[in-house]
Chains A and B, each alone.
Chain A
Amino acid sequence: MMTCSAGERTNGFNLNHEKRRQAMEDQVVSTQQHMPLSQDSLEKETTTLNLGPTHPATHGVFQNVLEMDGERVVSAEPTVGYIHRAFEKIAERRPFYQVTPLTDRLNYCSSPINNMGWHLTVEKLLGIETPKRVDYMRIIIMELARISDHLICNSVVGVDSGAYSGFLYVMQYRELIYEIYEEICGSRLTTNIGRVGGFERNFNDTVYQKLDRFLREYPDVLKEFENLFNRNRIFIDRTVGVGRITPERALNYGFTRPNLRATGVDYDVRVATPYSSYQDLEFSVPVGSTGDSYDRFLVRNEEMWQSLSMIRQALALMKKEPSDIYHAQVPKYYLPEKADVYTKMEALIWHFKIVMGETDIPPGEVYHSVEGANGELGFYLISDGGRAAYRLHFRRPCFIYYQAYPELIKNALLSDAVVCMSSLNLIAGEMDA
């Protein structure tokens, strides 16, 4: 670098021509020492850019080391694992009812779906049949979770492409959904809803009131949200053709749900292998055609309409069932209500047996998957008859489809890479388990 003494600096402008030339030459030489590039490669010079681990656009803790040629991405290398919490190992020491809080922390934008997925897996292992009313209650919770997840994801696509107002506008309805969770289970983000066999308590009146309010008000909000984006010239320019993938590549990369459906493949776990009485409902599976960020956005929006209709149907079906049933009659596995444990002997006995691990767990190997908010969320559970799982593996959808990211953003602009990332609905908690 050019160095000059204090005396010279005061006369900086009076440096004679020879001195200035010398200084410039020094600078060129030293730059070359720092970046050894061949003389003719100045035009092709690439820059390494760290997108993450704590970058506002990643919306979570993961890193992309991008090799940039100006504004264009030449290659990308994702690095994940910053918040790995060893859930699979921890689950090998925990009884089944203590695994639910771990599942909360996978995709924390839609924890109830993860909770239900886990309960359904254990019920499949134990062979528990749940009453229809429990199934419908679960559908309501899961579809609410799906709406809250999709509205976050879609509004964040808006934020990353420069439209903040949509995000703020729908956020109050996520708040309403969280209030409904709160009425049902007492918590908001990491919900830990339900138990093996059903729910810990029945829906109270406030739940129905808030659900009614949600079903009444949210369609208008969603309509307005769509008006803001769907035909918005700026939004279309920012998302159409960004992060495009063909159906063949998407399947090869293990894409599921909106990301796969945006390419035109109509795979839906709720239709293919119905669980929790989804077969009783009428709904359609929206698909896109081009597999780009815009199609992913539209598919998610349409999913929200479908979820709203599913909640309405499930509520109507629920009314036909006896209103005091909220869990299956399986005292051996269903943790009884705490008030009963203190006052009733039967409940106390079963509570003791379950907590001390004296109920029989059949050995077996079971895979169960639910339609998570961003992909097929699978639970591979191996039981050896012990109290905890012998091995539990989570099929975490975004861990699997995020590998496609370097391919999706190759030769794209940096700003498109950001939009593409948010339109994939990546959740760091799920990726790192």
Chain B
Amino acid sequence: MALTNENITQRLTEKFGEDLSEVEEPYGLLTFSAPKLLNLKVLQFLYDDPELRFQFLTDLTAVHYPDRKGAELAVVYLLHNMRDNIRIRFKVYTDIREPDVFSATALFASANWMERETFDFFGVRFVGHPNLKRILNVDEMDYFPLRKEYPLEDQTRVDKDDDMFGRGTDKWFQP
């Protein structure tokens, strides 16, 4: 029997119950989130379960939502079950002041650099990572450039604003 989004949701709900939240299917891709302390448990369950078998980590990244107080950073895992050819997206949210998330490097070797990249750009500290240091930016950098408080352009410029991009000027940046 082919694995469907309903089966996966059912299996996960049986196992994690109340901890599962934000279950939705944007563009057919099952997306859900769980508390950040459970991230390894969820990943391990998805990996080991004989029905689910999500054993391929396609992508790992983060997103910064400055408006969500206490859960500003979302770490996003994109997992793939190649046998049944189905993907799922799994998110954990973390407070930007304590951005500690358990590292998935023990489960997926590919997570190593992806977590380093996520640390480099968002400052998510992956607890248990063997070599958590910057990968694409210079080591001396003291900020995390993909966070929304660092706008792309020079803030002293007055001839351009963000209105053209559908967002108000200086929404996240008050100098």
Contacts and interface: CB of A to CB of B under 8 A. Distances in A.
A and B held together in a complex: yes
Interface of A: 80-81, 84, 86, 88-90, 92-93, 95, 124-125, 249, 251-254, 265, 267, 272-273, 356-357, 361, 364-367, 369, 376, 378, 380, 382, 384-388, 390-391, 393, 395, 399-404, 432-433
Interface stretch (B4-12, B95-103, B108-116): B108-116
B34 interface: no
Given A376-B58, A382-B63, A366 B27 contact: yes
Contacts of A403: 109-110, 112-113
A380 B76 contact: yes
Interface residues of B, number: 39
Contacts of B82: 251, 265, 267, 272
B146 interface: yes
B110 to A, nearest CB: 3
B156 interface: no
A378 to B, nearest CB: 6
Contacts of B114: 400
B75 to A, nearest CB: 12
Interface of B: 26-27, 29, 31, 55-59, 61, 63-64, 76, 78, 82, 85, 87, 89, 108-110, 112-114, 117, 121, 134-138, 145-146, 152-153, 164-167
A357 B31 contact: no
Q: Which 3 A-B pairs have the closest CB atoms?
A: A254-B110, A386-B166, A81-B136
B135 A80 contact: yes
Nearest to A79: B135
23 contacts: A81-B135, A89-B152, A92-B152, A93-B165, A249-B109, A252-B110, A253-B109, A356-B164, A357-B164, A361-B166, A364-B26, A364-B27, A365-B31, A378-B78, A380-B78, A385-B166, A387-B165, A387-B166, A391-B63, A391-B64, A395-B59, A401-B110, A403-B110
A249 B136 CA distance: 25
A90 B152 contact: yes
Contacts of A380: 59, 61, 76, 78
A43 to B, nearest CB: 30
Contacts of B78: 367, 378, 380, 395
Contacts of A364: 26-27
A400 B113 contact: yes
A378 B55 CA distance: 18
Contacts of A433: 136
A232 to B, nearest CB: 33
